[in-house]
Structure 1
């Protein structure tokens, strides 16, 4: 309880009043039904209705639509009947149906007695597949796509009445659905029966009121991507109902700007320390920009977030799936769910950069949203072999590329500060094991997000952050890093954190990357007790490829404790190999791939700084991390 109060801070009274309203059923007055006869016809917005010229984009859409018709809606990498051949309230995990007529605030989604993990049914209810079918209806007007889409929408308005059932529980879900429906109406609104269009407009109007009434809860508990999403939803709905919603757009923009000022860093990275949520928020900014009239501050944030992904390396191939991952999207595409490149390309194109025309056919984020026009600004140039990208330093070592995590944000993060991920060509040597679940068994949730799942050095039984419930942590960590430097033919970076300063002193790590390999040198300020570190190996990697690993035990698919797993997407996990290194306390350890033996590292511990002196065949290099 005290942990919850600390997390809520000054918002605790507001949250308490909100919970009292739910329990007393005062919500019934707040969320009363809107008279359908009073709802005007919505305005068509131009959003996601650019018809691609390229064969690949058109084929990709029709193939995806065919799977929706034949196999069902896409939910976390699988096809399920929800909405396509079964009720929209059907839980993909159990096949049972969430309550359909119960007021949403009376449905249990959190306790152990809940029906299931609500994210599965909500993912289907974001209506990405309706947009895919609407696109296919434009590309192939005589195909089965339009009729199938209409059946799904008719099922929705019949089963999911405003403020009833699981799909009205979350304002964010309503906002995302409004963005999807705006695209459906832009693509095929002229083919919808007037009665069906009117029922859709009734739900859209109810969504706007719901988001507004729910703002106290969002402010008290969801000052993150949820507040941005609510703001975007109000902008979209305000534009769709320009007379009735004159102030919705203004409120929406104010909400987005308010949250952006605390959400975004100047380097384009965010308080949500997660690749998935970076893409999610970036796509919100892209949609807001496409709607027109976006504040300049929002446009700048969109550009910075896109450049951040460019620096991280998403345009060159896979990057670590750091932080929480759940496939959250605003833009609709029929490509691989794990790709972030299309969103990065879209933001760069909208920011006026010269994006290759060939990318439009490769990425739906360009093909359906932007059209053929491109800017003329050259893409930002990057330092060869060493690039800082927000919380990361990206280093190249011959054919190998590695990411060194030197910082982190306070939301959706994992206990992975100072982690190292290594890709050798297209093959991962050390990978991030993923997320697993948010709302599933807590030992699985924590098994993937704690330090035991990452390449970080911790005391036996210790953790950098200490998990609390499904999303919170019991401690915060301060870190500092040096600038990159060169010694002989290698690039080196120092990072330091204070997660264990009280018990064991500070922890430092130097990463050396050169043509011959990657060497990691770990050091602790005070050597007390034993230490351990986990190396989650890539699917095709072998522990024999590494040097310096002593007292080594490999784990694969073990249940107790939860060790040796990888999660390619939310809700799925499969056996993988984790090499766990442990041993007695020592001040310094050295490991890696292809040892750089000609460079020695010595650490010097100051009161508020740490130095690493690197000695090679030439002049020595001094790296300094200040502030920890």
Structure 2
């Protein structure tokens, strides 16, 4: 790993965390040879399972059954897609290759495999092979879940054969602590959860040899998770995933060594992290609604496993899950999609091995079924396996109306009919991210996202890539890519690595007013150290739409700024003087009038530091119109008017 990376990371660590990292390094070094080999993890016994999962799938609706059949058919036909990429097709009858588990489908290159000790693989800084996210994705074995559901429904017998072949191949190709499948706790946990879901649904049909392999894999994963927990600045969604994996593992295999102690620790961690990582108002602490959904789904599956064992988790878990479902109902558009604040790596817990544009809404509906509650704003989305397992409600609920301020997370949402059009507007005035490194936050304080008539209009640019993103990773996280103001091209917060931040902007909601003449006023201090000014943004209702005023509080002289509006990819844009007309693919145009003199720049698909890009899914970037006003402002500010009529 690079010395610069270590230095930046150390700056984010407390003395206690540094001591923990030193101990962790020693444990990883000592794991060589002492923890390898399947024979160490032999665990004779029955089928590891979560009570009630198979019975729930057997009661699935026709729509969910059809979705399961389609997903299983894709897998049987050798098709696998994830993170915006298709893996090479494996034709039926061709045996699985050991290379499948280390192939980067983008570069076509193979990462180190079973010949390499897992902690010797420098995945954070390795660029020759590609982005490790792709290889980790297929190693989660989540594509086996629809196959197991197909078996539970008495479907194609080829599904059972493919499950057994896949588990045999993975077991042979990935011995403990060898290769890249073993170098991350969250990956171990998600894989363990997948295998327990598979065994719960199809275990009665699996061969004794396959059950023995599953149990060995799970026992080795339990050892890994106990030995290398995520703590301190890494204790974000990774910690929730690890604790969920440990709880589900010990419920499914209570005969594991130290199972009772591990289960007790996992319960305590999940109950504590539920209140830390889903805030009191329902927002996820990491600021990303999709990461919030991922955390909620982990808690949800752990909760149903605990309920099935007659030892439910404490009430705080259900309470925070209910608040998250309410939050999703407020921020989702008519299709169920949520604003893309912060990172989204498309992590899932239950999977039909396909892209889910309305993932957070699907999780909110699952929560609603689990809790037997129906918050406002639940819309129908594509049928999913989690609908059957959690008894998601079939009918939508009316959308909420008015202004909601999520004060703990730092987001205000307006939902109303304005100038005869359905408007959903979200203003970000929350923290950069969670914990000291704010790993999945973006420098987007006071960013404004807008959906109109059920379709996105002003959008977050998205995520694109993680480890292999390079300059693009910085662009998609940086201030200039977001619907806010930058001074001289500076970021509000200091990027110090792909998952790390130095100085962080502190944002706050200064005032708000509900009703027909609603108003939101917020500010942040990100530009105080360099420019000595505070950025303030006021968004308020107008008879024909809404207006935005940006000011630089404390400016002695006007400063050069850029105010950005990133349009959705399906919007067209044209300029006439100080007015830009935005034409969505469906629906009436919107006029954006700049009432303060300045230069207006429209860009689409320009080089990265010029913008005009959105990432609709991990690994993909598409050109889209980016509208920027450039001029000099001070305390009097600049005004932009959105005319919807």
User: Above 0.5 in TM-score?
Assistant: yes
Return the alpha-carbon distance in structure 1 between the equivalents of residues 224 and 519 of structure 2.
52
C-alpha contact (below 8 Å) 2:329/2:399 kept by paired residues: no
Aligned residues: 588
Residue in 1 that maps onto 2:226? 212
Q: Tell me: CA distance 1:222–1:32, structure 2 relative to 1, closer, same or farther (3 Å).
A: farther
Superposed CA deviations along residues 397-426 of structure 1, whole A, max 9, x for unmatched, are 332221111213333111111111111213
Please state if 1:240 is matched with 2:252.
Answer: yes
Aligned-residue RMSD, C-alpha: 2.8
Q: Which residue of 1 aligns with 2:77?
A: 70
Q: Choose the corresponding residue for 1:521, options 527, 549, 555.
A: 549
Structure 1 segments unaligned to the other structure (5+ residues): 597-628
Hey, what does 1:590 align to over in structure 2? 639
Q: Which moved more, 1:362-371 or 1:62-71?
A: 362-371
Q: Deviations over 1:63-82 (max 9, x none)?
A: 12222222422311433148
Assess, with a 3 A threshold, how the Cα gap between structure 1 residues 192 and 360 changes in structure 2: closer, same or farther: farther
How many angstroms apart in 1 are the aligned matches of 2:139 and 2:235?
23
1:166-197 deviation digits (Å, cap 9, x = unpaired): 11111111111111111111111111110111
Distance 2:283 2:528 in 1: 27
Aligned counterpart for 1:551 among listed residues 586, 593, 599: 599
Within a 5 Å distance, the mapping from 1:195-594 to structure 2 comes to 195-215=209-229, 218-244=230-256, 245-291=259-305, 292=307, 293-313=312-332, 317-333=336-352, 336-339=355-358, 340-354=360-374, 362-364=382-384, 366-371=386-391, 382=400, 384-389=401-406, 390-395=409-414, 396=416, 397=418, 398-408=421-431, 409-410=433-434, 411=438, 412-485=440-513, 489-502=516-529, 503-514=531-542, 516-525=544-553, 526=555, 527-541=557-571, 542=573, 543-544=580-581, 545-548=591-594, 550-559=598-607, 561=609, 563-586=611-634, 587-594=636-643
Q: Residues 468, 367 of structure 1: CA spacing in aligned structure 2 closer, same or farther, 3 A cutoff? A: same
Deviation at 1:11, TM superposition (A): 0.2
Residue 595 and residue 551 in structure 1: after superposition, are their counterparts in 2 closer, same or farther (change >3 A)? Answer: farther
Q: CA separation in 2, counterparts of 1:510 and 1:418?
A: 9
- Structure 1 residue 436 displacement after superposition: 1.0
Q: Distance in 2 between matches of 1:158 and 1:2?
A: 38
**Deviation at 1:561?**
2.7
Cα distance in 1 for partners of 2:446, 2:291 equals 20
Deviates more, 1:554-563 or 1:308-317: 308-317
Distance 1:120 1:504, change over 3 A: same
Question: Which of 8, 30, 39 is equivalent to 1:3?
Answer: 8
Structure 2 residue 183 is the aligned partner of structure 1 residue 169: yes
For 1:148-159, list aligned pairs within 5 A. 148-159=162-173
CA 1:56–1:590 in structure 2 vs 1: closer, same or farther (change >3 Å)?
A: same
Counterpart in the other structure of 1:46: 51
Stretch moving more, 177-186 or 45-54: 45-54
Structure 1 stretches of at least 4 aligned residues deviating more than 6 Å after TM superposition: 358-361, 372-375, 378-381
8 Å Cα contact 2:36/2:177 also seen in 1: yes
Separation of aligned partners in 2, 1:77 and 1:36: 36
Distance in 1 between residues matched to 2:371 and 2:602, nearest whole Å: 47
Structure 2: 5+ residue stretches without partners:
1-5, 574-579, 582-590
TM-score, length-scaled by structure 2: 0.85
User: Which residue of the partner structure matches residue 19 of structure 1?
Assistant: 25
Quote the offset at 1:34 in angstroms: 4.7
For residues 89 and 263 of structure 2, the distance between their equivalents in structure 1, rounded to whole angstroms, comes to 32
Q: Equivalent residues in 2 for 1:5-154 (5 A)?
A: 5-9=10-14, 10-22=16-28, 24=29, 27-29=32-34, 34-46=39-51, 48-49=53-54, 50-51=56-57, 52-81=59-88, 85-86=96-97, 87-101=100-114, 102-154=116-168
**Contact (CA 8 Å) 1:335, 1:363: kept in 2 or not?**
no
SS in structure 2 at match of 1:144: helix
Does the CA-based 8 Å contact 2:445-2:484 persist in structure 1?
yes
Query: Deviations 1:533-591 (Å, cap 9, x if unpaired)?
Result: 22111123324231117401122222253522110111111222212221123431111
